[in-house]
Structures are given as structure tokens and as C-alpha cells.
Amino acid sequence: MKKKDFFIGVFATLVIQILIFFIIFINAWNIVCFNKEINTDVAVLEGWMCDHSIKEAADYIIKNNIKTVFISGNHINKQKKFFPKDNYAQLGEILLKNELKGYICEIIPVPVNSILDRTLNSAREVIKYIKENEKEIYDIIILTEENHSRRTFLSYKKVSHGINVGIHPLSDGVLNKDNWKDSSDGIKRLLTETIALFYNSIRRKI
């Protein structure tokens, strides 16, 4: 092969890779975000979310007359002394009850003992709890932050064992589809979530 042809090939490959990265970059929000509304009175809330997302989840629960809420959450692994509970499931329960402002529904925390693959293992634990304790539940809707919604949906879908899964993305009050590119935090979070989504897909974890 001539040197000229070799360098043309390398250059073409580099251009293609840059184009692929650019396409992924500008579409990152649409890649990681997903919405699938279903008719159900059972919700699953991820307890690690910020206060704004918890409040938005409470509004959704009240508006849609949700009767049962499962709250997933791993152990809190930093600054534990400042939290009344040692896992996000129970902490999320406290925060949600405060935002529901008297609205009555059954709230069931499901603590998760996992460091790796936290989203997938949270899904496993919630579905396992439902199958073992709540025999009449056939549909659930997941409440999680927008930029985490597609991976969460696919994780629950992977382990659903026949339960119909929907998902409702929540705003964190900071990032959205229009402004995520304007800050290093937004770029980092979206690219991290995109990489995690592709990695888990390749590994067939979702």
C-alpha cells in the first residue's frame, strides 16, 4: 500500500469518527432521555434524586392518583451523619411524604445493597419485592430524572418478568434539553450517561 493511500485511509477514518462523535454529542439529550406513559396507580421512585425532582414526583403522584409508591435506594456512602437515614430509599420516603402534603398513598422503601450496576440492581430488587409481596401488580411507572430515564427504563424492562413498565422523566430544575451544553456539569453528566447506556447495551445488561 502506498503511503498516500494509507494516510488518506487514516484521515477518512478520523473524519468518520469525529462525525459520529459530533452526531452523538448533539443528540445526547434525546439518546439518554425517554418517556413512556402508561395507565397505572403504582409508581417506582428513585430515592437518590434531588429535592426538585422529588417535588415534581409528588405532583405527578397526586395528579395521577397513584395509590402505591415503591422507593428504591442504595446506601448513602458520604457524609452519613447529616442524614436521618443510611439509605436513599428511606431518605426518599421522608422527602416524598413532606412534599405530598397530606395526600395518602402506600409508600414502600426498598433498600438496595449494591455498589456496582446500581440502576440495574435497584430494578432487580424492586421487581423481586413486587413479585414476592404484591401479587396483584401488573403495571408500574418509574419516576426518575430526565437524563437517567432511558437507562432506567431499559434496566426495569430487562428484569420486569412480565410486568408492564412505563417511565415518566422528571426535571432536576437545572438541566434541560436546551441548556445542558452550556455548562461543564451538563456535558459531563450527559456524556457519562450516554457512555453508560452504550456500555450496558454492549454488555447486554439492558
Query: Residues 151-162: what's their mean pLDDT?
Result: 95
When pLDDT is averaged across residues 178-185 and rounded to a whole number, the result is: 87
CA–CA gap between residue 152 and residue 52 (Å, rounded)? 19
Under the banding of pLDDT at 50, 70 and 90, the label for residue 11 is low
Tens-place pLDDT, residues 16-66: 777 766 666 677 788 899 999 999 999 999 999 999 999 999 999 999 999
Tens-digit pLDDT profile for residues 74-128: 987 766 665 667 789 999 999 999 999 989 999 999 999 877 888 999 999 999 9
pLDDT score of 195: 86
What cell was used for 183?
Answer: 455548562
pLDDT score recorded for residue 120:
93
Q: 160 near 135, Cβ under 8 Å?
A: no
Instruction: Give the predicted TM-score (pTM) of the model.
Output: 0.85
Statement: residue 138 has pLDDT above 80: yes
Euclidean distance between CA atoms 150 and 39, whole angstroms: 19
Judged against a pLDDT cut of 70, whether residue 172 lies above it is answered with yes
Contacts 24+ apart (CB under 8 A), 63-68: 65/41, 66/41, 66/42, 66/105, 67/41, 67/42, 67/105, 67/106, 68/41, 68/42, 68/43, 68/105, 68/106, 68/108, 68/134, 68/137
Strands (E), 36-105: 42-46, 68-74
